[in-house]
Amino acid sequence: MRCDLHVHTRHSGMCNVPLFSRFCRECYSDPEAVYQTLKRRGMDLVTVTDHDSIDAAEQLRRYPDFFLSEEVTCITPSGTEIHTGVYGIEERDHIELQRRRKDVPALAAYLDERKLFFSINHVFSSLTGRRTDLDFLLFQELFPALETLNGQIPGINNSTAALLARDWRKAVVGGSDAHTLAALGQTFTDVPFADGVRTFLHGLRHGQAHTRGKSGNYFKLTCAVSQIGLSLIGEHPVMALLAPLLLPVVPMVTLVNYVCEILFERKWSRRLRDVRHNPGVGTSADAARRSACATSGDELVGIPIADTFFEVADVG
């Protein structure tokens, strides 16, 4: 069965671009239009992974082939931001995920307790800002899956994520990360022997999934940003006055973004290779273990960190 596991609707909130965050949405797609588009493009199951929101479920819960998911914006112990995909949740889980999203070890402990499947999304993307070695330590020890095929980032970034998932023996997920209708269903996850939502999620947990479809590229990204800009004008007609100034800049902005993505992958793939080949570098595993756990009340929440080749240091 096929399902695009990274999908956004108009409920994903406002964009994070300075100034535009006041009036421009991350996505303008209506949940019903998203559902119908995914079905036309061959998806057997449909889910939505809006940023820190489950509001799209109000329109879609009536469909038997829909299941609720969420992309949670998390803050790691090193202060960096990551996006965690959580699949097959209930509405009560949303409240707990939001409560724990600034404490990644506590979040992972809750998800493990609830037996909910989750992944670290766009591992080698600069989308959420800087990374640290401790972040990758957390990915290795706390996350059961990596997103290894994202339809909005370059192929080399996805290939590196796939190699990391193979080395770490992690489950894999893939999705379009579509913020417009055009990209929906072009990238997806396939669990061959699933026959419904329950068996699909079971297949994800047990590493039986395969990622299919297209990575991102410069043209695809430029089209998506342009479409969002046109949707912004549709919602706020006064913005049409600025369109002659803003729309010509889009190709330049997306080119800079695309180059930054490539450089980010190059930096971190090299970093991981260097540390792998020099396992003695850095602080002790005990220091990593203390840093990767967070206290909640009187209890230590988190999974113990085993000896690893990562140096625990912030290298940006």
The sheet that has 46-48: what strands, in order across it? 46-48, 66-75, 81-87, 117-120, 145-150, 171-175
Lowest mean pLDDT among 19-33, 44-58, 285-299: 285-299
Question: Do residues 111 and 88 make contact, with C-beta atoms less than 8 angstroms apart?
Answer: no
Cα(139)–Cα(79) distance, integer angstroms: 15
Give me the chain's average pLDDT, please. Answer: 88
For range 239-254, the mean pLDDT: 84
* Cα angle 291, 294, 298; round to 5: 130
Is it the case that residue 183 has pLDDT exceeding 90? Answer: yes
The number of beta carbons lying within 10 Å of the beta carbon of residue 155 is: 12
31: phi then psi, degrees, rounded to nearest 5: -55, -40
Is it the case that residue 11 has pLDDT exceeding 90? Answer: yes
Amino acid type, 49: T
Question: Do residues 71 and 83 make contact, with C-beta atoms less than 8 angstroms apart?
Answer: yes
Is it the case that residue 283 has pLDDT exceeding 90? Answer: no
Quick one: pLDDT at residue 21? 76
For range 11-23, the mean pLDDT: 83
Q: Which residue in 4, 93, 100, 9 sits closest to 50, CA to CA?
A: 9
User: What residues form DSSP beta bridges with 216?
Assistant: 154
- What length does the chain have? 316
**H or E element at residue 92:** helix 91-100
Report field, pTM of the whole predicted structure over 0.85:
yes
Is it the case that residue 280 has pLDDT exceeding 70? Answer: no
Quick one: pLDDT at residue 242? 77
Q: Which residues contact 236 (CB under 8 A, 6 or more apart)?
A: 23
Query: Over the stretch 115-166, which tens digit does the pLDDT of each residue have?
Result: 999 999 999 999 899 999 999 999 999 999 999 999 999 999 999 999 999 9
* Residue scoring higher pLDDT (258 or 246): 258
For residue 306, name the pLDDT band (cuts at 50, 70, 90).
very low
Is 245 in a helix, a strand, or coil? helix
Cα(263)–Cα(244) distance, integer angstroms: 31
Is 224 in a helix, a strand, or coil? helix
Quick one: pLDDT at residue 279? 56
Quick one: pLDDT at residue 67? 98
β pairing state of 145-150 and 2-3 = unpaired
Cα(298)–Cα(275) distance, integer angstroms: 35
Quick one: pLDDT at residue 287? 42
Q: Which residue in 174, 147, 179 sits closest to 3, CA to CA?
A: 174
Quick one: pLDDT at residue 274? 83
* Location of structure tokens 């006041």: 22
Q: Which residue in 9, 16, 20, 28 sits closest to 249, CA to CA?
A: 20
Question: Do residues 74 and 31 make contact, with C-beta atoms less than 8 angstroms apart?
Answer: no
Is it the case that residue 312 has pLDDT exceeding 80? Answer: no
Q: Which two tokens stand for residue 76?
A: 């790691």
Domain 2-218+256-277 has CATH 3.20.20.140: yes
User: What residues form DSSP beta bridges with 2?
Assistant: 190
Quick one: pLDDT at residue 124? 96
Query: Over the stretch 38-94, which tens digit does the pLDDT of each residue have?
Result: 999 999 999 999 999 999 999 999 999 999 999 999 999 999 999 999 999 999 999
* Residue scoring higher pLDDT (215 or 282): 215
For range 208-220, the mean pLDDT: 96
Lowest mean pLDDT among 49-63, 172-186, 295-309: 295-309
Cα(302)–Cα(296) distance, integer angstroms: 10
Lowest mean pLDDT among 60-69, 201-210, 227-236: 227-236
Percent of the chain with pLDDT over 90: 75
Q: Which two tokens stand for residue 100?
A: 């724990």
Q: Which residues contact 289 (CB under 8 A, 6 or more apart)?
A: 304, 305
